[in-house]
Amino acid sequence: MKSNLINHKIITLLKVQYSNMLEYRVEIALWAISGIIPFFMLNIWTNNNLNESIDISDVMLSRYFLCAFFVRQFSVVWVVFSFEEDSLMGKVSPYLIQPLNPFFRYFAQHLAEQITRFPFAIIIAFFFFIFNPESIWIPNLGILFLSIVSTFLSFLIQFLIQSIVACLCFWTERASSIERLLFIPTLFLSGLLAPVVSFPAYVKTWIYLTPFPYLIDFPANLLSGNATNISGGLSMQILWIFLLFPLFKKIWSEGTKKYTAMGS
């Protein structure tokens, strides 16, 4: 009975957010386009033959960057910006009264947005293959499944990190600047701009202990068929989720105790 109710909640939330997102198709298409930086990077890599030094062929590198694009598309998180706006506008108060953690609402929003974004990402990939026909490949089903799982885990890690930052809104009014700060290491260390294999040795020694390479580099390597440690990567992702989730719960309960509605 209870699980039925939860199912019902999840489906309703997703439906509402999906129809909401469908209203903003152009927005989401533009957003998908704004994620094409990996392709510019690929262009620099192959045009200057930089990949020879890291022993990845042109084809494998182009697959890597295409996958990095895909992983990024389906792990973009903006919960901190929504939450900041809602908290400044005083919308958080009614959400808190509801018997549902407001972060479920944001979570559904992100999932719905990913579903809306999917066709646009496919179109961009289609154009990519027109320009680079030699890089077409079909990953086998097992790998495809594992990379979808790891992309989702990467999304979860980022969602948790951003939710923790978003909870800082209870203490400071502008938590989004902290998110912008955290975005910088995410951008440069996650493998969106350059595969982690190409990093200098002094970075490679410690980077695998941080969550960053598991955000884009690991799922992209997995999907594109480049060499990677599958079980190690997945377990690190799960480990990070287990580390971050209690932290989020803690900060959420502290924050809601601290929360006073605007104007009080």
Task: Check binding of 193 to other proteins (CB under 8 A).
Answer: yes
Report the residue number, 126 or 131, with the smaller CB distance to other proteins. Answer: 131
> CA-CA distance, 199 to 111, in Å (whole number)?
32
Instruction: Tell me: does residue 44 bind other proteins (CB under 8 A).
Output: yes
CB of 261 to other proteins, least distance (A): 20
In angstroms, the CA 240 to CA 218 distance is 14
Of 1-40, which residues contact other proteins (CB under 8 A)? 24, 26-28, 30-31, 33-37, 40
Give the integer Cα–Cα distance in Å for 119 and 122.
5
The amino acid present at 170, given as its one-letter code, is F
Write down the least CB distance from residue 18 to other proteins, Å: 18
Distance of alpha carbon 75 from alpha carbon 71, whole angstroms = 6
Nearer CB in complex with other proteins: 62/147: 62
**Least CB distance to other proteins at residue 218 (A):** 18
Q: How far is the CB of 246 from other proteins (least distance, A)?
A: 25
Alpha-carbon dihedral of residues 54, 59, 63, 65, nearest 10 degrees?
Answer: 50
Q: What share of the chain is helix, strand, coil (3-state, %, to 5)?
A: 80, 0, 20
| Distance, CA of 258 to CA of 30 (rounded, Å) | 38
Residue with smaller CB distance to other proteins, 159 or 212: 212
Nearer residue to other proteins within complex by CB, 8 or 180: 180
Rounded to whole angstroms, how far apart are CA atoms 192 and 24? 26
Amino acid at 154: S
Note whether 172 binds other proteins by CB under 8 A. Answer: yes
- Least separation in angstroms between residue 114's CB and other proteins is 15
Q: Which is nearer to other proteins, 25 or 249 (CB)?
A: 25
Q: Does 57 participate in binding other proteins (rule CB under 8 A)?
A: no
The binder of other proteins chosen from 90, 119, 185, 232 (CB under 8 A): 185
Quote the tokens at residue 84.
């900041």
If one asks whether residue 262 binds other proteins (CB under 8 A), the answer comes out as no
Using the rule CB under 8 A, is 130 a contact of other proteins? no
Q: Which of 46, 36, 45, 44 is nearest to 66 (CA)?
A: 36
Q: Looking at beta carbons only, is 37 or 148 nearer to other proteins? A: 37
Both tokens of residue 260? 């006073």
Angle at 129 between CA 123 and CA 130, to 5 degrees: 90
From candidates 93, 101, 198, 226, binder to other proteins by CB under 8 A: 198
Which parts of this chain interact with other proteins (CB under 8 A)?
24, 26-28, 30-31, 33-37, 40, 43-44, 47-50, 52-53, 172-174, 177-178, 180-181, 184-185, 187-188, 193-194, 198-200, 203
